[in-house]
Chain A
């Protein structure tokens, strides 16, 4: 069971956390919403969330709540650039299909 960050993603997270001036890591999760059932959550974590699974990838602490982990186990969080847009991307092996935009998915 693990969730990882690509090196590029880790660099960006480290940078964002440093500029933000606070936070102990990031928290990944899913929630049931969106046009294909589930959607990703990606947030800063200001304190260690109780009961969360903790992973460390390229120096970044990643928290995942246990219920979400089943859906995103094995995910690698990457940072990508598409045209003028840039941001984080979930490479999730559990996904069966996504909505057209990829913001929500089901497993």
Chain B
């Protein structure tokens, strides 16, 4: 018997036609999937009751793929083939990754996006992310008893077009229909219902395992505008563990640690940190493989003291973000806490002091982004009544193009609500110029070189005119997912060129895979076809020559011999209709053999003819 959920009034679905939709938080460290059940957003757990899926993918030489906890446990044993934090590589080239030397992966430079060499072959970050999404999709389908109509996937507010496109591609590769890409801070705000609350400015403070992000959002007329984002990509809960770990080393006065003991102490450090969320002090004990022991008590006060510098490290970007937004802390109406590390009382206190208000913490900070995404997915799938308006998003970074002198001309300024389209007119620079190169950029900087290059294309066939006479209208169009298409049109002649921005990696991943595969599988086929063609040409030549010889010198053969040769020709002709080049080769040999005697006699006859009527002396 199927299990039903309670629908909104009048929105019951027909059997087998439930509009199942999910929200996915595709995180750097962990990923989650959530849905709305009977009007309530819930995170979906796996069979073991765990809601987090570590964003770790391990490739085996036989092509088998592990995702999540199993992959995570192999991280130390098989670092080259176990990909962690793949999100950092999405839509990025080698040049974009600063700490490339310290990473255990074998990077392959590919146009636009870096790729990783694994035991199962070269993988793009899109493919790795797709593995994570596929596991989440399967989990959701098992938990909801049917196929999904779509998913809302969250991305950091600062993700540019290439990174968003890569995320969307990964979803498609995983068989997910993307209803919308949603900014993570926006999703967190939705989870708290801020979208149907009052208008105002909100801060989203997101401290995860290894990254810190602060976003300042402004809600007005149903639109979340990202006013500013800032953060620290190398600051997170792990750093707090590290502080306790150092304290443990001081307490224990251990001899240099083995890797196993270091891991043990780090685990203990994390446990202690988590215990201090609930308790004012915690007893920390450990027995190392060397027999060394430690037994000490860590108080919350001590912990706060040793991590105070880390806490203040999050406040500096927060201050900067507010300054970029042109706001002061007391203009912020609400603060949303995201990420497991915001459970720490010292963090909550610091944030409360900074904004002079109690932050919103009643939702699980690990789940809040996924829950908000699920809520938005439910609306987009059509499971909500009319009073829930559709949330609009904005363009995170300005879109524009390069003009003469390497400058950026912004066509769509940041924070424009999407979907949107804008056009701008440009002209030619030289007399008789018949082509124009359009270089599409994203970013806030003035110099094109400082912005991210999204695509280049050329408008050709502009009628020759004096410089400045041509009118070229360039139109930028951004769809609801924040993805861009650009077209250019010369107004007098109507010549047009356009590009779907997917450019940062030139060709789509699937395309590249298909092309590589085609080239490989066809290599054998191509060789075969060539051999066949050569044999056919040979055989046809031989048949024609034999027929001509028979017509000319048929008299040299008796009926039986003629019949044998005719039969050989017929055999070969039959083989020519097929595609087996080996068989044709054998047929050619057979016909050659059958005609050897005939050829001999013709030679003799020709020699006799040539010599007939000549005096012996002529040949002397």
Contact = CB atoms under 8 A, between A and B. Distances in A.
B467 interface: no
A39 B37 contact: no
Given A44-B9, A89-B1, 8 more contacts: A34-B15, A35-B15, A42-B6, A45-B9, A83-B47, A84-B139, A87-B5, A101-B15
Interface string A72-107: 000000001011111111100000001101111000
A90 B1 contact: yes
Interface of A: 12-13, 15-16, 19-20, 26-27, 31, 33-35, 39-46, 80, 82-90, 98-99, 101-104
B6 A33 contact: no
B39 interface: yes
Contact of A88 (B5, B45, B142): B5
Contact of A33 (B1, B14, B47, B139): B14
Contact of A84 (B5, B10, B14, B142): B142
Q: 7 smallest A-B Cβ distances: which pairs?
A: A87-B3, A102-B1, A103-B15, A84-B143, A34-B15, A41-B12, A103-B2
A41 B9 CA distance: 10
15 contacts: A16-B39, A26-B6, A33-B15, A34-B15, A42-B4, A43-B10, A83-B142, A85-B143, A86-B3, A87-B2, A87-B3, A87-B38, A88-B4, A90-B1, A101-B16
A50 B258 CA distance: 74
Given A84-B139, A85-B142, A101-B15, A46 B4 contact: no
B41 to A, nearest CB: 9
A42 B7 contact: yes
Nearest to A17: B39
A39 B4 CA distance: 11
Interface residues of B, number: 28
Given A20-B39, A33-B14, A88 B6 contact: yes
B4 A87 contact: yes
A77 B41 CA distance: 22
Interface in B22-51: 37-40, 44-47
B529 to A, nearest CB: 50
A22 to B, nearest CB: 10
A82 to B, nearest CB: 6
A94 to B, nearest CB: 14
> What's the dominant secondary structure at chain B's contact region?
loop
Contact of A98 (B1, B38, B40): B1
B38 A12 contact: yes
B11 interface: yes
Interface in B392-450: none
Nearest to B143: A84
B8 interface: yes
B145 interface: yes
Contacts of A12: 38
A85 B15 contact: no
A99 B2 CA distance: 10
A40 to B, nearest CB: 6
Nearest to B37: A87
A86 B3 CA distance: 6
Contacts, number: 96
Nearest to A39: B15
B83 interface: no
A44 B15 contact: no
Nearest to A98: B1
Given A34-B15, A103-B15, A104-B15, A19 B7 contact: no
B565 interface: no
A19 B14 CA distance: 25
A88 B15 contact: no
B170 interface: no
A43 B9 contact: yes
Contacts of B214: none
A42 B9 contact: no
A33 B17 CA distance: 11
A83 B144 CA distance: 10
Most buried by A among B47, B139, B145: B145
B11 A19 contact: no
Given A12-B38, A33-B14, A101 B2 contact: yes
Contacts of A40: 4
Nearest to B16: A103
A40 B39 CA distance: 18
Contacts of B4: 40, 42, 87-90, 103
A85 B6 contact: no
Contacts of A20: 39-40
A98 B1 CA distance: 8
B417 to A, nearest CB: 28
A19 B46 CA distance: 24
A20 B144 CA distance: 20
Contacts of A83: 47, 142-143
Nearest to A84: B143
A84 B47 contact: yes
Nearest to B3: A87
Nearest to A81: B3
Contacts of A98: 1
Given A16-B39, A34-B14, A34-B15, A44 B2 contact: no
Interface in B122-156: 139, 142-145
B51 to A, nearest CB: 12
A31 B14 CA distance: 9
A19 B39 contact: yes
B450 to A, nearest CB: 47
A80 to B, nearest CB: 6
Nearest to A41: B12
A44 B6 contact: yes
Given A13-B6, A82-B3, A84-B142, A42 B12 contact: yes
